[in-house]
Structure 1
Amino acid sequence: MSKTNPGNYFEDFQIGQEIRHATPRTITCGDVALYTGLYGPRFAVQSSDEFARSIGFQSAPVDDLLAFHMVFGKTVPDVSLNAVANLGYAGGVFGVPVYPGDTVSSVSTVIGLKENSNGKTGVVYVNSVGRNQRGEMVLDYNRWVMVRKRDENAPAPATVLPELPGMVAPEAFQIPVGLAMTSYETQLAGSPHRWDDYYVGEKIDHVNGMTLEESEHQIATRLYQNTAKVHFDQVAANEGRFGKRLIYGGHIISLARALSFNGLGNAFRIAAINAGAHANPAFAGDTVFAWSEVLGKFELPGRRDLGALRLRLVAVRNRQASDFPLRSEDGKYHPDVLLDFDYTVLMPR
């Protein structure tokens, strides 16, 4: 019997199946520095212990998306090692802040299954929860992924499609304990624009672009211990649809979020992931641009110092951001659209 793990194929999943993922991951200051080197995020709360402490954090927390990737990476060997593509997200809630020295672990539950019409693949829906060493929730989210079948003749399971929320309600946000905006300094944060300065329907072109490098996306994916073959294995890629390695979709999310600083510099914490789609695969050599649209504004109960913005973050390749239709008449994304991401951030008022 082989001692290696070939990963789960579509027919290996069952509704209600719970998977406790290896390996717990202690997040270090080195991880934070490498994340900064890969994407260049400039949000003050994650950059400065002193700034973070001035508004109630114990020190600079780990970037919310670094925490997301660490939790996500744990799930890959069991959920998406044999994936064709990671398709989307919904109902994601960020819990307690993560700090260097915290250890995160992940557990996933299968909540949906649907075989594709070609009989070669199927879509697996999972709810994944990441917790720290004290058992506190740091992230609770749903995703769905297209996974190969081991045997194309294996019978299809009954289709179960989970009911997923269109957005995370403000009542579900986990506001960090002790957070207070009275000492928040917009000049140090790099933007004068607070929650009240934004309006629903506003579009913000983040202007700057960043070119994807083969070495960087592979370093990033290894940082998260994401072992999906499509990102590393050129032999496997030669047999695939594109003939080259795909960039992990989360790499595009982090890059677009970092670019969004120019226009949203005070969006200091991600509260929720409402929905998200990796519209098209990205490859080394693509240059990523991004824009955001304000989808909603929420006052928070009992908080006159803090508000929430629901944002649509769109990343595109090789062109300035918002100068073309994102979808064709048949509803398909334009091939230059890489990411369509709906999330909610906290911002001082």
Structure 2
Amino acid sequence: MDTDEFFRSTPEAIVEWSHLRPGEWVCQLWELDVELMEELRFGPLPSRPDLDVALSLTRLLHEDFVSRGTHHDERMNDEEVALAVKAHRAVLDRLGMETPKLPFRHHSGFFDYWRKNDMSGSWQARRDCIEELLGPTREALDELREIEYEQRFKNGPRGTFKNLIFAAVGPKPKIVLRDAVNNDVEIVQNADNCLVYSDPLPAHGLTWRQLVRWWQADRTPSADERTAADALYRHLYRSLDSLPEQTVLHTYCARYAEPDGFELPALIPQVYLHYDPYTRKSGAHSGALYRQRMDFLLLTPDRSRIVIEVDGAHHYGTKNKPDTKGRSTYTASPELYSEMVAEDRRLRLAGYEIYRFGGWELTRPNGSQIISDFFTELLARHKKPTP
């Protein structure tokens, strides 16, 4: 969480000129969000964990007191500092942490404190004073965050990333295990129809920009980034056969055109989860795997692997003979449904997150809005951790 989020812009009509020192004036273009601070005193924010807020409030108070003790360019007045200190204490209390014992509660108090303690002639002494008071809290919060991250990632997907085989257009690829010792796979048929990403996976997940640059180097080295992105998107779109899946891809990829949109996680369609040479149709091999491909995969900044499935009627029903008007219907199949949820359980136990959409809901007039709202919440949950 950035410290700027604790402030809001001052409407131009009520901008005030604030006096700092004799002969110096500054136009105050922001003000502390008092309502937000009051909200923090009485409970956590719905969209921000208390740990993130506590770190940012600690940084805000540290920066503002240091500014007051050096260049006098602090952002808060005495009343606002006092309110921020109260909010800081409330958030730390909710986290079960000891609050820093500040011998002053606002900037004027800090001014009196440094004069009484022989710090009037030294900016460094004032900086050291604030670090001594707030530094231990910051370090304790940093340690708590590291513990939280380790706990979160410990339950993540097992194994290491090696490659992605995805977005096949036309005949599907046939894959063999070329080297069982190194677990190397090879596409022996229809390799040109699909994409294979085998570059190292960055710690922040796989962004759209990263995927476009890979495509650019492999397919269109002379094209600029936007042209390469357009060509990649068109290939991804052609790999999808159903309207609901196309709606998901189109709705999500519209975000790439927004500011910093290329830094969003890439939505990867038709990803091979595993390759099963024993077809389920033969019935001769009880070990045949139910799901070979994932509809969509996101590799997010917090190291999560998120699977999104769009279910048509064939996922949970068997197709009947067409009626007299040529229309097809399906009969619900407990067997198909059981196979589907069993595979979901296996993936979840392996550390994946799975979200399912019914194809029917995505063909409704508000289908795109359903998808857009879902991704807004999902990306907020899996954003890049704040340092």
| Greater strand content | 1
Q: Between the two structures, name the one with larger relative contact order (CA 8 Å, sep ≥ 6).
A: 1
| TM-score band, normalised by shorter chain | under 0.3
Higher CA-based Rg? 2
| Greater helix content | 2
